[in-house]
Chain A
Amino acid sequence: MAKSTVTLDEVTIRFAGDSGDGMQLTGTQFTNTAAVFGNDLSTLPDYPAEIRAPAGTTYGVSGFQIKFGSLDVLTPGDTCDVLVAMNPAALVTNVKMLRENGTIIVNEDSFTDRNFKMAGIATNPLEDGSLARFQVYKVPISKMTANAIADMNLSTKFIDKTKNFFALGLMYWMYNRPLDQSVRFIQEKFAKDPQVIEANIRVLKAGFNYGDTVEIFTTRYEVKPAKLPPGKYRNIMGNTATALGLVAASKKSGLDLFLGSYPITPASDILHELSKMKEYGVKTFQAEDEIAAICAAIGASYAGDLAATTTSGPGMALKTEAMGLAIMLELPLVIVDVQRGGPSTGLPTKTEQADLLQAVVGRNGEAPLCVLAASTPADCFDAAYEAARIAIKYMTPVICLTDGYVANGAEPWLIPRADDLPAIPVKFEKDPATFKPYARDEKTLSRPWAIPGTPGLQHRIGGLEKAHITGNISYDPDNHDFMIKVRAAKIDGIANDIPLQRIEGDPEGEVLVVGWGGTYGAIKSAVAEARAKGHSVSHAHVKYLNPFPRNLGEILYKFKHVLVPEINNGQLIKLLRAKYLVPAIGFNVIKGLPLRSEDIESKIESFFGGNHPGGNNA
């Protein structure tokens, strides 16, 4: 039977299975192949905090969503077109993500009474009519996998672990993808075990051939490469981009990179990445706790390294006192907070934007520092690099906010040329005749960086209030008032050193949607949809959260309404209201998931539909 090929602009696939089924690996493989093929893409890993929850249960389901296309792909998709479900639990927990008439591919071998019981369902969803709205393909994935490698004398457990490659091969067939990228991956990953290589490749090909041979699949799809700006690309995840940004800043500043860190989800991958980069002179220090991690970074900064610490919300809370010390010592330090659901332990593997106020104001005393945020996985590189540049130039800690979504998501990245990255000049003080520990540069208000080992510059710094110029301990009331204000002025002055706020859309109009961080893609596509319908809507995405860009106020005043969508209960909106006195309206959905652009768009519509748009909820 001849199979037809249909060309699509974009497709969203969601792989779902047990947390032991290798869905993250399957999704990542599909992603890398799509990236190398030249599609634009965006991904959303969605996995439980438990490493191996009991097999077959709904709370053990791990998912990976990828949207890839020949057009500008801004989000991993509000809904998916195709759901690959490896067991009943994966099906019932993920089917709500599937669009009307979407495609379901299930491993029918896993649809057993036992698994229905584990998934807490009374009837077989493949037979009870509950999936009538979808196209369901029942594929005996387990059986076919076992057949493909039956002659290799492998354990049942091993065969079971290999079946994700069958699903991957089938999807490669369905979307006309080459297998070579994944074949290479298998060869490298299992280089020590030729039998494992052979088994995995056979299963991958079996999945591909199954699509080609069996008559149930009549159509293949083609998604052409995207028309991205010319240049050299790679696929990159947010946490990797953060790590690269820090190393790039280290190389461009000529300072060794010191990372003090303590493992915490979802930030640990930055530590993992950097610990592999020793040939770049990177020193990674896995400390005994979050506090030691930042304190060691402060010590390394004092001694002249480019120092960073990486963490997530609960770790940020623990680092708070030490951030105050870094502010008082006026030493460069990059603090990366990969935000996750809070408060307390919260939702460790889910995304949220609820650490903004903690970052901007969450310290004892008047303790201002610079805060900026990454908006996409690739933007993590720029944000980390910029954080380092500002930290060094202004002798201050800088907080770089990312979140679980951008940290674990991936997208194609137009690789920068190392030579073109902005310079990061470093000046260590050398002259004992003129050195004063707390004398300030007239322009930046930063104090000199005098590192131990420099003859004649011996000096003591500490957390007690410093006397202006000398840095000696001072309890003088006027000095304290002066120092508080000069530290604030130093941070405020950074506004003169950052780009003006950009606006996407018209510079004035009815509604301005103001966002920050990982909601960039969702807001951008919502605004694009609304504009296509003729609405007067623009988008400003704020990267610099403290200080704000100089022109942010003017921009806000040029719109009748300001809408602030956030994955928190209203934090940027508080800062905007406080600073600019604008009656901004929030849109706050805090489900541990990225905002859906569809929901943002309907909120935008409410400004034009006559209903009053007040209220902060979806």
Chain B
Amino acid sequence: MPETVAKDQTTPVKLTIKDFQSDQDVRWCPGCGDYSILAQVQRVLPDLPHKKEDYVVVSGIGCSSRFPYYVDTYGIHGIHGRATAIASGVKIANPKLNVWVATGDGDGLSIGGNHMIHMLRRNLNIKVALFNNEIYGLTKGQYSPTSRIGQITKSTPTGVIDNPFVPVSLALGANATFVARSMDRDPKHLQEMVRRADKHQGSAFLEIYQNCNVFNDGAFFTWTEKDSRDTTVVYLEHGKPLVFGKQKEKGIRLNGFTPEVVNTTEGKYSVNDLLVHNEQDSTLAFILANMIHDPELPRAMGVFLAIDRTPYEELVQQQIAKAKAKKGEGDLQKLLDGDETWVIQ
């Protein structure tokens, strides 16, 4: 694990899932993937080394952004696209807080795309869970910046013609220090990714494939269904070769910079020929993210990148501490007086 352990290790009372369930009725459509994401987060939070009162969940606008209402922590349901900006202010004001952002592909990558990339490059110690359903749900079915070319939606009756973002690639391009992908239908993996994101000291970007069963049902079934995902998904594990398939008989090999699928049971290749995952290699992270463009390749799930870089809010505190050490605690009267004064009798 490349990350250092989270600093605040004191949990005075053992928290349970109930501590993170609010008194509000959950109002997502029945069958929505959001229910699973909420459940996994609520399951993980009690075990994390933070006080309940130190959690702040910030969101923007969209189905995913209702998330803060359903977890009993501090929270702000903000305005469309601005969750990462609001969260940045929360974290800079009080670096001790454990700040999460719940957002979606529209909120986080369309109207909020600018704030997202800038928060990631600054590396504020904020965790972003981006629920990607490749559609606008709350506004009832328009295409999003992750919708696929040709997709028929309410606002594209003849098919989407915009090239979509690959969220993981965007986060890597923004120099995020932690980038991961998971899915609503694999609770264990999702829980693990939430834990990993929490543990990371810096911005954590976690894309979660989420099924919108009303407006884009089955968009991710190729990769998320139990009977198919063994052959369509490769789970990334640090220091381990990329292996997948029902019998773990397949793997990913690098041919130059190009990944390809090989069979390790047919004699030509063995497990030793396979690509070994390294979470600290950003070049590799891009290669893995780009696998999405080749339909022959499995979809990568897990931690693409996890590297250390001092979080922004720590640097803010360091500069303040340095100025105080050098000039002493600021004296208001001295500041008001300025450098040059004169007295009138």
A contact set with B: CB distance below 8 Å: 32, 35-36, 38, 181, 225, 228-236, 244, 247-248, 251-252, 256, 258, 260, 277-283, 285, 287-289, 291-292, 295-305, 307, 321-322, 324-325, 329, 415-419, 451-464, 472-473
Contacts and interface: CB of A to CB of B under 8 A. Distances in A.
Contacts, number: 215
Nearest to A463: B79
Contacts of B338: 234, 236, 415
A195 B74 CA distance: 60
10 contacts: A38-B342, A38-B344, A278-B319, A279-B320, A280-B335, A283-B92, A296-B86, A305-B93, A307-B93, A321-B79
Interface in B49-87: 51-56, 58, 61, 68-69, 72-79, 82, 85-87
A279 B328 contact: yes
Contacts of A417: 333
Given A247-B335, A295-B86, A279 B330 contact: yes
Instruction: Report the interface size class on chain B.
Output: 35 or more
A248 B336 contact: yes
Contacts of A231: 343-344
A256 B93 contact: yes
B323 A279 contact: yes
Contact of A285 (B51, B82, B89): B89
Contact of A288 (B24, B114, B337): B114
B336 A418 contact: yes
Contacts of A234: 337-338, 340-342
Nearest to A299: B89
B22 interface: yes
Contacts of B118: 287-288, 292
Contact of B340 (A32, A258, A282): A32
A417 to B, nearest CB: 7
Contacts of B96: 453
A299 B86 contact: yes
A233 B343 contact: yes
Interface in B312-344: 316, 319-320, 322-324, 326-330, 332-333, 335-338, 340-344
Most A Cβ at <10 Å: residue of B54, B72, B87, B340: B340
Nearest to B82: A295
A37 to B, nearest CB: 8
B229 interface: no
Interface centre among A283, A324, A452, A473 (most CB of B within 10 A): A452
Contact of A460 (B76, B90, B114): B76
B247 interface: no
Interface of B: 22, 24, 51-56, 58, 61, 68-69, 72-79, 82, 85-94, 96-97, 114-115, 118, 316, 319-320, 322-324, 326-330, 332-333, 335-338, 340-345
Contacts of B53: 452-458
Contacts of B58: 299
Contact of B78 (A295, A305, A415, A458): A295
A304 B94 contact: yes
Nearest to A247: B335
B92 A296 contact: yes
B38 to A, nearest CB: 14
Given A418-B336, A452-B54, A473 B69 contact: yes
A35 B341 CA distance: 9
A462 B76 contact: yes
A303 B324 contact: no
A35 B52 CA distance: 56
B20 to A, nearest CB: 10
Contact of B330 (A232, A260, A280, A301): A280
A251 B330 CA distance: 9
A414 to B, nearest CB: 8
A303 B335 contact: no
B90 A452 contact: yes
A329 B76 CA distance: 9
Contacts of A283: 92-93, 316, 320
B93 A299 contact: yes
A379 to B, nearest CB: 15
A279 B338 CA distance: 15
A277 B331 CA distance: 11
Contacts of A452: 53-56, 74, 90, 94, 97
A285 B312 CA distance: 10
A358 to B, nearest CB: 18
Instruction: Identify which of A181, A324, A415 gathers the most chain B CB atoms within 10 Å of its CB.
Output: A415
Q: Which of A228, A300, A307 has the most B CB atoms < 10 Å from its CB?
A: A300
A322 B51 CA distance: 30
Nearest to A328: B79
Contacts of A230: 343-345
Nearest to B61: A463
B30 to A, nearest CB: 20
Contacts of A291: 82, 85, 115
Nearest to A464: B77
A304 B54 CA distance: 13
B344 A292 contact: no
A179 B333 CA distance: 28
A320 to B, nearest CB: 11
Given A285-B89, A295-B89, A453-B53, A461 B344 contact: no
Contacts of B333: 417-419
Contacts of A324: 79
A356 B150 CA distance: 48
A303 B94 contact: yes
A173 to B, nearest CB: 22
B56, B58, B90, B343 — most chain A CB neighbours (10 Å) = B90
A279 B77 contact: no
Given A285-B92, A454-B53, 17 more contacts: A38-B344, A228-B344, A233-B343, A252-B332, A258-B89, A258-B92, A285-B88, A288-B85, A288-B118, A297-B89, A299-B85, A299-B91, A300-B89, A302-B89, A303-B94, A304-B94, A463-B77
Contacts of A288: 85, 114-115, 118
A225 B73 CA distance: 62
Residue of A279, A283, A304, A418 with highest tally of chain B CB at under 10 A: A279
